[in-house]
Amino acid sequence: MTTRSETQTTLDHLLTEIEHRNPAQPEFHQAVHEVLETLAPVVAARPEYAEPGLVERLVEPERQVIFRVPWQDDRGRVHVNRGFRVEFNSALGPYKGGLRFHPSVNLGVIKFLGFEQIFKNALTGLGIGGGKGGSDFDPHGRSDAEVMRFCQSFMTELYRHIGEHTDVPAGDIGVGGREIGYLFGQYRRITNRWESGVLTGKGQGWGGSLIRPEATGYGNVLFAAAMLRERGEDLEGQTALVSGSGNVAIYTIEKLTALGANAVTCSDSSGYVVDEKGIDLDLLKQIKEVERGRVDAYAERRGASARFVPGGRVWEVPADLALPSATQNELDENDAATLVRNGVKAVSEGANMPTTPAAVHLLQKAGVAFGPGKAANAGGVAVSALEMAQNHSRTSWTAARVEEELADIMTSIHTTCHETAERYGAPGDYVTGANIAGFERVADAMLAQGVI
């Protein structure tokens, strides 16, 4: 039998090859490295995983689509953006993953997100594969008409590659209910089919699921609560830091508040707000979801309890919990050291890979409970899969039923990660547990289906 060290050497060589074959894609390299550095125990214990080039196939997308997206602004000027859809792995079901519209989007970012999605989706146990897509289009500051024309152009190419049994996109950064509506309308127009299961995150009056907007934030808080329970604590009375002020952050704050914690921060690219009384969710929703404003407006209107810190780091505020909910690599090693000095107990990722590898290692070394995004923020895609189930049966579930299903799924994910980590000699290491548990589910399906 191959030893664990020999297996790790083989995986390290594979990582070097991946970096060579995929140049200038640092986010993808980071995501792959984070998984491969934890797989040696399972590959050494189950040599059948090494034989058919399984890991080599897992890190190579099944399909990568890049396309031109031309559109006209309100003045008639033509713009050209680039669209992406990376269909990474469909061993467990149709590709499933969001669309991100943001200037930072490139192939490496989409591949990192798609690779993470494989394991996240596997952990839900709901029979969905991993994929991701998007564009370098920036919807910020654009009119509804401009966003509509862009979405229509984007879908005019994307429709060829998706379908309810093939690939089911959803929203992500820059893609909310408005964008999903425009995308679905164009898909329906082109195909002449009411294929409601082709996109998730739809409006509740035409195929969407209750609790879907809240699901990622709610799920992350439920995962954080489960980690605390393992340590004999709960959320009641805990002070929490939340970064971001979009969908994930807003509903993270909402669930924290409902479970008795005090969420005292939110942020955007201009800086952060700290509110000693706790974030006023109604005011934050008005500013961010209705007015599409900046968080400094929150501090101006909230009163004496809140202050805006321009360009600051939300992690410098002392607290018990930290829930990064904005974007990748937003919490670095220096931030982690600050959190540890301030006595943080748990960090749970609401965004995708928001914590740098050095920061993760520092937090784990300090004994902080750390929930990786592929486990902690799986609530969003879980409810997306529940939306697909409702679409297939032409039914609509109550909010109570969806929330109960979400709670069960997040509890199951936590249990799976915790038990898998213990089984492979890494008790309390949710990163190792999540990676290995997700890998085993996908790997077993890939073995059963042959070399494809």
Which residues are marked as active site? 132
**Edge-to-edge strand order for the sheet containing 321-323?**
262-263, 239-242, 321-323, 346-348, 369-371
* Euclidean distance between CA atoms 435 and 116, whole angstroms: 9
Residue 121 to residue 262: CA distance in whole angstroms? 30
Alpha-carbon distance of 179 to 386, in angstroms, equals 20
DSSP label of 229: H
Parallel, antiparallel or unpaired: strands 95-101 and 346-348: unpaired
HSE-CB at 74 with a 13 A cutoff on CA atoms is 8
Nearest to 213 by CA among 285, 114, 112: 285
**Separation CA 200–CA 274 (nearest Å):** 33
Type of residue found at 378: A
Residue 437's SS3 state is helix
Contact 227, 217 (CB under 8 A): no
Classify 146 as helix, strand or coil. Answer: helix
Place of tokens 């990722």: 349
Look up tokens 């986010």; give the residue: 27
Which two three-digit tokens encode residue 270? 């201009």
